[in-house]
Amino acid sequence: MRASRQQKSILVNLVTWALVLVISFPLIWMVVTSLRPQTELFQIPPTIIPRSVTFEHYAKLLEETPFLRYFMNSMVLATATTVVVIAIGTLGAYSLVRFSYRGRETLAAMVLFTYLLPSVVLIIPLYLMMVKLGLANTLTSLVIAYTTFALPYALWLLRSFMAGVPEDLESAALVDGASRMGAFFDVILPQALPGIISTALFTFILSWNEYLYALVMVNSDEVRPLTTGVMNMLITSFNIEWSLLMAASVMMSIPLIIIFAFLQSYLTRGFGAGGVKG
Amino acid sequence: MASATRAPQSPLEKRYARLGVLLIAPTVLTMCAVIIYPLVSALYLSLFSIYTPTLKGHWVGADNYIRVFGSREFWSALGVTATWTVGTLAAQIVLGVGMALLLNQNILFRSLARSLVLFPYFVSTVVAVLIWRWLFNDLYGILSHLLIAAGIIAVPIDWLGKMPNAMESLIAVGAWKFFPFVVIAVLARLQTIPEQLYEAATIDGAGPFGRFFDVTLPQLREVLTIVILLRTIWDFKEFDLIYLLTGGGPVNNTRTLPLIVYQQAFGLNQMGMAATYAVAMMLVMLVFMLIYLYRARRAAL
């Protein structure tokens, strides 16, 4: 009995890890390609393990392409969107969870509805709006456009995180003479902080990865974020330099890896609270 | 003050209600400006014929709708969208539930395995597409070479250039990118199934398959319904992955509704028609959105 159980456990381990490696193979291949010298790239058949490792593609990426500018644009864009959305969303979620007034339920339903809305429906009027406001081709226009998906998403997440804070704590503060906003800053905010942080990180990821709005609203290299910028490098280059593109892909994923490490413990809670948008 | 909080409709209650409205005001204003106004605007624009570069147009009424619903493009794109959605969703569910069951076992380095499985979901679609286009490369792509080395195929496959390969590749990449969502949701649910249920089933003589169908699957039903609804909505409206991987080709065989909207607006310069396509697409989606809203609201109460 024990032997067969052990055998089963070994089998489960092998099958699982084989699948995990197949699933992560594309990502491993991205890293391997980015480190491979150009000459090794164009050989048939390709070898799995590179014979030598080089960082020339990374150097070229930083020195000879507008990659760094795209990177900075994406940083500014994702940070600004996150700050705006979390500031508005935290107050809004608090209101939805703890106050009662007419229309609150309708509002909550609206938030959920907009959370499901396809951006392709909003993109035409938003584009026209930006042209009218004279904001076309600016990072500001993208921050505004990104709130369309980031705000309902953040509200939905924050709402469930705040609902998890025990109401007694707040009542106790109120009894002690704190004002409603005082209780919010002293009790709710610290209690909900882990939830707020993970919502902020998820929002950052969403904005960092967004493509369609950036494609439509921005068409100059000065303000292009990474998603459209890197794709542009693929389209405009005469012969496609795959190792350069793979290096760009690795660099583009680094902030995600860092955030991912932070998010590990929050991950399940975040998903449980309404999922990551995708 | 404590007694005042308990009494309904006291001045304090009213003040609180006002504060609540004040706190939600920035949200409401922002949503009106960037979501509600554009949504109404899209409905309005769908009744016009507008030339994108000049943004000049004239009223055509229901003409756009008559043209859209009477066109072969709309129905074939709807068919393509349905094929893509059903195909990639089915693959995501099978792969996601299977992987969740495996990752729920005692696996060596389990948290590392979980992180590796989840990562495709967090990586940008642009990055995912670049990687897969490199894997699919006709000359140097590793995928064809691995299959040749394994003796499965004789010559490299044209993954994206012809049908039905292009749709199959699209579905596979979509499944790879989005199945982690299913894994996480199912894994979270699996961890809450009481062990006694399995013990009872074992005593009743159920084997591993019996336990899966009699205990696990019924317990997963609720979460799977929600996951399927959400993923149907998200896969249906997917733009980035399809646009970047195949661009709708070969010969519009993978052109879904979101791609038509983009193409009409910024390729053919027909803003009004694009809005019409967008509204028509939303009407189809509305069925799934309403079911999800109903279920999510009921779960929240």
Q: Which residue in B has a C-alpha nearest to residue A45's C-alpha?
A: B145
Amino acid sitting at position A144 = I
Contacts of B44 (CB under 8 A, 6+ apart): none
Q: For position B105, which CATH number holds?
A: 1.10.3720.10
Show the tokens assigned to B262. Answer: 């983009």
User: The complex's ipTM?
Assistant: 0.91
Whether B40 is in a domain gets the answer: no
Q: Are A146 and A81 in contact (CB under 8 A)?
A: yes
As a whole number of angstroms, the distance between CA B154 and CA B150 comes to 10
The total domain count for chain B is 1
> DSSP state, A166?
-
pLDDT tens per residue across span B219-271: 999 999 999 999 999 999 999 999 999 999 899 999 999 999 999 999 999 99
CA dihedral sign, ordered A220, B38, B48, B255: positive
Which site among A43, A116, A188 would you substitute to test the B interface, given the most B Cβ atoms closer than 10 Å to its Cβ? A116
Q: How far is B11 from chain A (nearest CA, A)?
A: 14
Domain for residue B218, yes or no?
yes
Q: How far is CA A203 from CA A119, B38, B179, in A?
A: 16, 22, 20
Which ranges in chain B belong to alpha helices (H)? 2-6, 11-31, 37-45, 63-70, 72-103, 110-122, 125-135, 142-149, 165-190, 195-203, 208-211, 217-236, 240-245, 257-266, 271-300
Give the closest-approach CA distance of B246 to chain A in angstroms. Answer: 14
Q: Do B102 and A180 touch (CB under 8 A)?
A: no
Search chain B and give the residue with CA nearest A216: B266
Q: Could you give the CA distance from residue A183 to residue B142 in angstroms, rounded to a whole number?
A: 59
How far is A131 from B289, CA to CA, in rounded Å? 31
Q: What is the pLDDT of residue A17?
A: 96
> Per the domain annotation, does B42 fall within a domain?
no
What's the CA gap between B44 and B237, in Å, rounded? 21
B123, B179, B186: best mutation site toward chain A, by most A Cβ within 10 Å?
B123
In angstroms, the CA A33 to CA B198 distance is 46
Please check whether residue B55 lies inside any domain of the structure: no
Secondary structure of residue B270 in the 3-state scheme: strand
Evaluate whether residue B190 is within a structural domain.
Answer: yes
Q: What is the pLDDT along chain A (278 residues), one digit of tens a residue?
A: 556 788 888 999 999 999 999 999 999 999 999 998 887 776 666 677 877 889 999 999 999 899 999 999 999 999 999 999 999 999 999 999 989 888 898 999 999 999 899 999 999 999 999 999 999 899 999 999 999 999 999 999 999 889 888 888 888 888 888 888 888 888 889 989 989 998 999 999 999 999 999 999 999 989 999 999 999 888 776 678 889 999 999 999 999 999 888 777 666 555 555 555 55
Q: Do B38 and A122 touch (CB under 8 A)?
A: yes
Separation in Å, CA of B163 to nearest CA in chain A? 23
192-251 in chain B: CB under 8 A from chain A:
230, 233-234, 236-237, 239-240, 244
B15 assigned to some structural domain:
no
Using CB atoms within 10 A of its CB, is residue A69 exposed (0-12), middle (13-18) or buried (19+)? middle
CB-nearest to A92 from B2, B24, B148 is B24
Question: What confidence score (pLDDT) does residue A234 get?
Answer: 81
**Is B250 inside a domain boundary?**
yes
User: Are A215 and A120 in contact, with CB atoms under 8 Å apart?
Assistant: no
Chain A contacts in chain B segment 262-281 (CB below 8 A): 262, 265-266, 271, 274-275, 278-279, 281
Instruction: Answer for the pair A165, A102: CB distance below 8 angstroms, yes or no.
Output: no
Partners of B51 in beta bridges:
B56, B270
* Parent domain of B144: 63-300
**Interface touch B122/A256, C-beta < 8 Å:** yes
- Kindly report whether the peptide bond that precedes residue B250 is cis, defined as omega within 30 degrees of 0: yes
Give the residue from A211, A229, A214 showing the smallest Cα distance to A278: A211
Contacts of B19 in chain A (CB under 8 A): 99, 180-181
